[in-house]
Chains A and B, each alone.
Chain A
Amino acid sequence: DGGITQSPKYLFRKEGQNVTLSCEQNLNHDAMYWYRQDPGQGLRLIYYSQIVNDFQKGDIAEGYSVSREKKESFPLTVTSAQKNPTAFYLCASSHRGFRSSPLHFGNGTRLTVT
């Protein structure tokens, strides 16, 4: 079955360490996204990519980095520059980008930084 796989499901890191979250999709979708979800807030866009080797900053890109070397993969690195990295991170993909195509989400990675 096609879908989006995020790993790991839970991740614990010490403050000051970079950490990379994995996201792989086999839906043949062109667009991929990273969101962050905090309690009581709507999803906030970190980065998105509409095509291989191209990506754009979202609303809260500071302290994060991404790459899109393959259509299937869109890893997110949370760097030590991100001031409040503890959150629920969601990767998503869509067929045609934001215009009208709904998003398909992975099951998320819950990152805790102490």
Chain B
Amino acid sequence: RKEVEQDPGPFNVPEGATVAFNCTYSNSASQSFFWYRQDCRKEPKLLMSVYSSGNEDGRFTAQLNRASQYISLLIRDSKLSDSATYLCVVNEPMDSNYQLIWGAGTKLIIKP
């Protein structure tokens, strides 16, 4: 059964704090991983891909733990504009192709 699980939240975090959330996946053959950001009633937008060695983009750090089958997103020095829902996406093989499995998202609220 294909499954990508996220804590729905909401995570209520004061401005300036560091916040992290995880996403677990069930298929050990999954190939690639992404974090998307979705603002209320808007379309998802790619935040960052997740590389095996971990990667950083400004205040955002993404990590992959293949042994435990989860990816994580860490946001440092959080801003009010970081308030959004963060969607985890896993690319896994299916037959001779691939498929994207989406988590339901983690809602983050940054408070002044």
Bound complex: CA A103 to CA B35 (Å): 11
- A2 interface residue, CB < 8 Å from B? no
Instruction: Tell me the smallest distance from the CB of B35 to a CB of chain A, in Å.
Output: 10
Q: Which of the candidate stretches B12-20, B38-46, B56-64, B73-81 sits at the interface with the other chain?
A: B38-46
B:94-112 near A, CB below 8 Å? 97-105
Q: From DSSP, what is the main secondary structure of chain A's interface residues? A: loop
Q: Who on chain A is nearest to B34 by CB? A: A102
Instruction: Tell me the smallest distance from the CB of A112 to a CB of chain B, in Å.
Output: 13
Is there an interface contact between B91 and A99, defined as CB atoms closer than 8 Å? Answer: yes
Is there an interface contact between A98 and B44, defined as CB atoms closer than 8 Å? Answer: no
Q: How large is the interface on A (under 10, 10 to 19, 20 to 34, 35 or more residues)?
A: 20 to 34
- A105-B99 CB under 8 A given contacts A42-B104, A100-B91: no
Chain B: residues with Cβ within 8 Å of the partner, total of 23
Chain A positions 75 through 114: 1 when the CB is less than 8 Å from some CB of chain B, otherwise 0: 0000000000000101000000111101111111010000
- A45 interface residue, CB < 8 Å from B? yes
- B54 interface residue, CB < 8 Å from A? no
Is there an interface contact between B98 and A108, defined as CB atoms closer than 8 Å? Answer: no
Residues on A with beta carbons closer than 8 Å to the beta carbon of B43: 90, 105-108
Instruction: Tell me the smallest distance from the CB of B50 to a CB of chain A, in Å.
Output: 11
Is there an interface contact between A98 and B102, defined as CB atoms closer than 8 Å? Answer: no
Is there an interface contact between B100 and A105, defined as CB atoms closer than 8 Å? Answer: no
Residues on B with beta carbons closer than 8 Å to the beta carbon of A60: none
Is there an interface contact between A98 and B98, defined as CB atoms closer than 8 Å? Answer: yes
Is there an interface contact between A40 and B32, defined as CB atoms closer than 8 Å? Answer: no
Instruction: Tell me the smallest distance from the CB of A1 to a CB of chain B, in Å.
Output: 15
- Which among A44, A98, A104 has the highest number of chain B CB atoms within 10 Å? A98
Is there an interface contact between A102 and B4, defined as CB atoms closer than 8 Å? Answer: no
- B22 interface residue, CB < 8 Å from A? no
Residues on B with beta carbons closer than 8 Å to the beta carbon of A99: 31-32, 91, 98
- Chain A interface (Cβ within 8 Å of chain B)? 40-45, 88, 90, 97-100, 102-108, 110
- Rank and list the top 3 A-B pairs by shortest CB-CB distance, nearest first: A42-B102, A105-B43, A98-B98
